[in-house]
Amino acid sequence: MVKKIKVRDMDIEYETDFRSIKYPRLEFKTGKLLLVLPKNHGEETGIIEKHKNWIYKKSLMIDMAKKETGSKKIEAKTEDDLKDFIKNTAQRFSKEPWHKIQFKKMKSKWGSCSIKKTLTFNTLLKYLPESLIEYVVFHELTHLKEKNHTERFWKHIAKKFNDFSKREKELLVYWFLIQDVSQKKQVYSQ
Ligand SMILES: [Zn+2]
């Protein structure tokens, strides 16, 4: 069920999900706020209140990203070309060994890196410019040595991609753009 809260001047929609976890957390993975709560955790306004600045900032970024989608054009690679490009890029960047690279169409992320060192890349990356695909590959490779987005993680990233926060924002813009493509809406008009 979608609920709504007001944070400053914004109406923000959110959903709640109860899972077997110890601590509540907030996610913004696909542009929608999700409250993940421990089972039998009845109280959700407290956690929203506590994180409202973060929620506000994220929501603003998402709104901006949605507005920027109009200025981007997309050209798709074939999936075979995408796979070759990603594998070559990974070879070129990596010092750490991985177990395997796999590809999947995913609904909530560009890539992931499992504990067993399997790298998974979203086949929707085929719509992205190569410079952003390279960033995603480097990002996931960096998770081989640093599981979470710690300060140390971003330091590793910055060695190669000094402009990583710009790229993270671009990825968000493309995320929304691609939602439109996969729903076969008109993407851009010129
Ligand atoms: Zn990451």
Cα(189) to centroid(ligand 1), Å: 33
Rounded distance between C-alpha atoms, residue 113 and residue 146, angstroms: 10
53 and 98 together in one domain: no
Flag whether 187 is in a domain: no
Cα(143) to centroid(ligand 1), Å: 7
Cα(190) to centroid(ligand 1), Å: 35
58 and 126 together in one domain: no
Q: What are the backbone angles phi and psi of residue 62, rounded to the nearest 5°?
A: -65, -40
Interior CA angle at 84 toward 29 and 188, to 5°? 50
What is residue 140's predicted lDDT score, i.e. its pLDDT?
97
Q: Are the beta carbons of 123 and 85 closer than 8 angstroms? A: no
What are 152-189's pLDDT values in tens digits?
999 999 999 999 999 998 998 888 888 766 654 444 43
Cα(172) to centroid(ligand 1), Å: 13
Give the domain extent around 7: 3-71
Cα(108) to centroid(ligand 1), Å: 12
Whichever domain contains 152, its CATH number is 3.30.2010.10
Last residue of a domain, one of 49, 71, 93: 71
pLDDT band for 8, please (50, 70, 90 cuts). confident
86 and 175 together in one domain: yes
Flag whether 190 is in a domain: no
85 and 166 together in one domain: yes
Any long-range contacts for 41-46 (C-beta under 8 Å, 24+ apart)? 44/16, 45/5
CA distances from 35 to 32, 66, 164, 168 (A): 10, 22, 27, 22
Rounded distance between C-alpha atoms, residue 117 and residue 142, angstroms: 11
Flag whether 189 is in a domain: no
Rounded distance between C-alpha atoms, residue 18 and residue 1, angstroms: 12
Cα(159) to centroid(ligand 1), Å: 16
Residues 122, 127, 132, 137, CA torsion sign? positive
Cα(68) to centroid(ligand 1), Å: 23
What is residue 137's predicted lDDT score, i.e. its pLDDT?
98
Q: How many domains does the chain have?
A: 2
Last residue of a domain, one of 30, 53, 71: 71
The torsion angle over the Cα atoms of residues 89, 91, 93 and 98, rounded to 10 degrees, is 110
What is residue 83's predicted lDDT score, i.e. its pLDDT?
98
Cα(106) to centroid(ligand 1), Å: 15
What are 88-106's pLDDT values in tens digits?
999 999 888 999 999 999 9
64 and 89 together in one domain: no
167 and 96 together in one domain: yes
Flag whether 125 is in a domain: yes
What are 47-83's pLDDT values in tens digits?
888 898 889 988 888 888 888 877 777 788 999 999 9
- Residue 29 above 80 pLDDT? no
Rounded to two decimals, the pTM is 0.75
